[in-house]
Amino acid sequence: MPLDSWDRRILALLQEDSSISIAELSERVGLSQSPCWRRVQRLRSEGIIRAEVALVDRGKVGLKTQIFAQVKLSAQGRQHLDEFSEAIRRFPEVLECWVLMGPVDFLLRIVAPDVESYERFFFERLSRVPGIQEITSTVALSEIKATTALPIPAADGNGGR
């Protein structure tokens, strides 16, 4: 089912605060509670809403360093892509792993308490994953923008939220 303007408003509000009550959500969207609740349930069941989670401030839990690592696999490593993927999935320090098209094969977003901790992770675990030819690490100095909210397009396809 395509998303209409009600669904889009619901999604925009839930991305800001998924703990909002159905009563408040329905009031802010302009629907009565029952149809609003049904729409939220449909958005969940169709997988449009994938999960509702608490976003934790990484700095406040001691993960003050963020690293972006570009990984290039060797020709032999590309033959074992599934093994590489499984190894990366087992590292809790790796928050994201993207397959790229271009001069490198993967981009990893990694968190660590400090540079020394990342260095240990790099030498003791990451660089030992079979098939890796090269890793280029870049330490992020500060964060300008980080969001989990998608810019939900209007029902007519023009503009954002």
Q: Mean pLDDT over residues 131-137, rounded? A: 96
**Which residues in 24-146 belong to E strands, given as ranges?**
65-73, 94-99, 106-112, 132-140
* CATH entry 1.10.10.10 includes domain 5-45: yes
Domain 59-140 has CATH 3.30.565.10: no
Give residue 159's identity as a one-letter amino acid code.
G
- The full set of domain ranges for the chain reads 5-45, 59-140
Interhelix angle 33-45/5-16, nearest 10 degrees:
80
pLDDT tens, residue by residue, 78-115: 777 889 999 999 999 999 999 999 999 999 999 999 99
* 39-73 tens-digit pLDDT: 999 999 999 999 999 999 999 999 999 999 999 99
